[in-house]
Amino acid sequence: MQSLWQDLRYGARMLTKRPGFTLIAVLSLALGIGANTALFSVVDAVLLKTLPVKEPERLVLFEWRAGLPFRYSGWRGTTRVPGEPGTQALSLFRHDVFTRMRQAQAATPESPLSDLFAFAPLCELNAVIGQQAEIINGQAVSGGYYTGLGVQPALGRAITEEDDRPGAAPVVVLSHQFWLERFAANSAVIGQSFKLNQQSFTIIGVTPPGFTGALQVDYRPAVTVPIASEPLLFREKSRLGTADRPGYWWLDLMGRLKPGATREQARASLNGSFQAAALEVMPPPRRADEPAQLDPKDYPRLIAESGSRGMLDERRG
């Protein structure tokens, strides 16, 4: 121990005699430590960190793969699913396809899933807070989103299945950070009116601190609305489609496994309903060399991945 103290005193004397060298050494150490800390933070957020929800290891993320001849009506969103030679793949689903899958899951008592839910980003919404307008990012979610993730609001209530029905009163949930920054953490916001894209929404809840949703790692929605309200925000540009225009593939899908169930069981239980719905909405041939009917080897089929970290597309990028 005495030798250690002698070495430390000697080192300190040498550093004080050479201030230029000392400054460079200190700066080098600071930059190195700062860079390593920043790198670890990025790795933790992108590769390691799980969602701050109930039992994230039981979440399953759905994607799909099909042969190149399979046709779909366009997509909106981020999708980077590893492909195989002669195939195409997406992590996005049409709303009517999701509806068919959810109906199949709900009608099967022995389903390995307790919940199946959908969500998608809504970028650049025009919000009016008081008399001030600003552009914010949001998301649209199905009625089972918060239940499926196992997230309880910090204030008010979450969006439910009743909120996510055509004709339901428009409601919105605020992120905790947005509530702090724009509403000064005022609990009286519950029940107040809030304008998005010139449409009035009633504030019903605030998410818990630290919860930013299950979307891509770099996307943090300030507000959340039901999928049924998306046409109010985007009108003729709605991703849900209209009687004259088919909907887009734009929704991310996740489910929650029942205790003891596996991702493969979840995939197998929904693959039939997904495949039937996807083939039913496949557009007619656009060119003479496209087949009217697909060879079964080109049928779309589900992929099931771990949903514990949220959407994987950006993490793969």
62 and 30 in a common domain: no
pLDDT in tens, 270-304: 999 999 999 999 999 988 888 888 999 999 999 99
237 and 178 in a common domain: yes
Q: In terms of Cα–Cα distance, which of 101, 108, 122, 73 is closest to 226? A: 122
Q: How confident is the model at residue 136 (pLDDT cuts 50, 70, 90)?
A: very high
174 and 44 in a common domain: no
How many helices (H) and strands (E) in the chain? 8, 11
67 and 21 in a common domain: no
Q: In b/e form, how buried is each residue of 245-254, taking b as 16+ CB within 10 angstroms? A: ebbbbbbbbb
Rounded to two decimals, the pTM is 0.84
Between the CA atoms of 161, 235, 311 and 144, what dihedral angle is there, to the nearest 10 degrees?
A: 0
255 and 133 in a common domain: yes
35 and 98 in a common domain: no
Confidence at residue 287, expressed as pLDDT on a 0 to 100 scale: 85
Q: How far is CA 201 from the centre of its chain?
A: 22
148 and 270 in a common domain: yes
111 and 8 in a common domain: no
Rounded to an integer, the average pLDDT of 8-17 is 58
105 and 35 in a common domain: no
Confidence at residue 106, expressed as pLDDT on a 0 to 100 scale: 95
Confidence at residue 14, expressed as pLDDT on a 0 to 100 scale: 57
247 and 105 in a common domain: yes
The percent of residues in the chain predicted with pLDDT above 70, rounded, is 84
179 and 301 in a common domain: yes
Hey, how many other C-beta atoms are within 10 angstroms of the C-beta on 146? 24
Contact (CB, 8 A) for 70 and 303:
no
Rounded Cα distance between 315 and 20, Å, is 43
pLDDT in tens, 138-174: 999 999 999 999 999 999 999 999 999 999 999 999 9
139 and 201 in a common domain: yes
Rounded to an integer, the average pLDDT of 204-219 is 96
Full domain range(s) for residue 168: 56-316
Rounded Cα distance between 66 and 263, Å, is 19
Structural domains of the chain, count: 2
SS3 content of the chain, % helix, strand, coil (to 5): 35, 25, 40
| Residue 135 predicted with pLDDT over 70 | yes
| Strand duo 59-67 + 301-306: pairing | antiparallel
The one-letter amino acid at 223: V
**Angle 62-64-65 from CA coordinates, rounded to 5°:** 155
State residue 247 phi and psi, 5-degree precision: -75, 165
**Average pLDDT score over the chain:** 88
